[in-house]
């Protein structure tokens, strides 16, 4: 089947099923072409919360679909490729959190949205890359157990020295964001290209960057008319190309998230046809996770 036919079928079934398609910025351009909402983790969560359609199809990875279910429990949540996961999220377990709480009884627990619903259920607050500083700053506790991304933990520590940030585990990281080369960035800078890095990048990369931003914020910054090297997953280059067709973006062709690339038009079509990939969560876990996600969404600007 041609791409054009697949797109037509997806759009027809989407309307028949009254489904809303939410796609992360890293998804393939053809998935963006059929999506109703495209954004970063926070933008997708907010759109899921206010959705009125009975079916929400999340083109992204599992934690994004779980978050949609947590925020809008009455809906059918479909993840077209059920094993599209996030290796960063896999670094953290509820058991690790429980043990850390025993070691640091006065600490608050903040988990990155890239975590399982079970981890969110035992946390005090969730955050995304876009609101991590705001969420951690808002908590009264000085000690913050933060997981699973140790790079994001060090990013928070650099802006909030008044807090004691305890990374959990100490080596949690995203393999995509860990791979950028300082030499490439220095070379780009010599050529007058500005750098935007995702907060998941290691400190040495963040230190060279001109800006540090979530993928949603990258889309805003990029409009400001420069040539940019983007330190995040390569799909962001396609997204920025869609938003700012007259600008030039560079990136690392090896920065590919294999899980984000699992969702194809064919997978999406099958999921809309047969309702496969439904995400169901234990109601108790959903209720407990909702508390920590709501904390994030309720923190004033």
Binding site for ligand 13P (CB under 6 A): 25, 40-41, 114, 128-129, 174, 200, 214-215, 233
Q: What does 77 interact with, of ligand 13P, ligand SF4, none (CB < 5 to 8 A by kind)?
A: none
Q: Which is nearer to ligand SF4, 34 or 176 (CB)?
A: 176
Cα 56 to Cα 51, 192, 195, 264: the distances in Å are 8, 43, 35, 17
When computed from its CA atoms, the radius of gyration of the chain, rounded to whole angstroms, is 19
To ligand 13P, the closest distance from the beta carbon of 174 in angstroms equals: 5
**Alpha-carbon span 32 to 103, nearest angstrom:** 44
Q: What does 41 interact with, of ligand 13P, ligand SF4, none (CB < 5 to 8 A by kind)?
A: ligand 13P
Q: What does 128 interact with, of ligand SF4, ligand 13P, none (CB < 5 to 8 A by kind)?
A: ligand 13P
DSSP secondary structure code for residue 278 in this structure? B
Q: Does 150 bind ligand SF4 (CB under 6 A)?
A: no
Q: Does 88 bind ligand SF4 (CB under 6 A)?
A: yes
Which residue from 38, 80, 54 is spatially nearest to 279, judged by alpha carbons? 80
Cα-based torsion angle of the residue sequence 78, 201, 116, 265 in order, rounded to the nearest 10 degrees: 10
Q: What does 27 interact with, of ligand SF4, ligand 13P, none (CB < 5 to 8 A by kind)?
A: none
Residues near 119 by Cβ (< 8 Å), separated by ≥ 6? 89, 92, 93, 94, 97, 111, 147, 148
Q: Does 237 bind ligand SF4 (CB under 6 A)?
A: no
Q: Does 114 bind ligand SF4 (CB under 6 A)?
A: yes
Number of other residues whose CB lies within 10 A of the CB of residue 91: 22
Q: Which of residues 251-270 bind ligand SF4 (CB under 6 A)?
A: 257, 259-260
- By CB under 6 A, name the binding residues for ligand SF4: 61, 86-88, 114, 174, 176, 200, 233, 257, 259-260
């Amino acid at each position: 089947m041609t791409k054009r036919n697949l797109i037509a079928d997806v759009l027809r079934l989407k309307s028949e099923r009254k489904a809303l398609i939410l796609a992360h910025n890293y998804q393939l351009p053809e998935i963006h072409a059929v999506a109703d909402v495209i954004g970063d983790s926070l933008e997708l969560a907010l759109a899921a919360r206010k959705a009125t359609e009975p079916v929400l199809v999340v083109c992204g990875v599992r934690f994004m679909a779980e978050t949609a279910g947590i925020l809008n429990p009455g809906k059918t949540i479909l993840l077209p490729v059920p094993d599209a996961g996030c290796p960063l999220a896999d670094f953290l377990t509820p058991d690790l959190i429980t043990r850390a709480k025993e070691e640091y009884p006065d600490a608050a627990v903040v988990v990155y949205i890239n975590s399982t619903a079970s981890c969110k259920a035992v946390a005090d607050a969730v955050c995304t890359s876009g609101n991590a500083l705001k969420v951690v700053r808002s908590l009264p506790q000085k000690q913050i157990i933060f997981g699973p991304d140790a790079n994001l933990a060090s990013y928070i520590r650099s802006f909030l020295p008044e807090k004691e940030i305890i990374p959990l585990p100490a080596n949690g990281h995203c393999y995509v964001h860990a791979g950028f080369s300082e030499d490439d960035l220095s070379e780009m800078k010599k050529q007058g290209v500005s750098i935007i890095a995702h907060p998941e990048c290691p400190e040495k990369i963040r230190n060279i960057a001109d800006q540090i931003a979530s993928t949603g914020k990258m889309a805003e910054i990029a409009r400001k008319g420069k040539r940019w090297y983007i330190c995040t997953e390569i799909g962001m280059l396609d997204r920025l190309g869609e938003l700012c067709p007259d600008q030039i973006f560079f990136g690392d062709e090896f920065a590919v998230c294999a899980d984000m690339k699992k969702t194809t038009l064919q997978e999406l079509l099958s999921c809309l046809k047969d309702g496969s990939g439904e995400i169901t969560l234990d109601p108790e876990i959903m209720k407990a996770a909702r508390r920590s996600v709501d904390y994030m969404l309720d923190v004033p600007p």
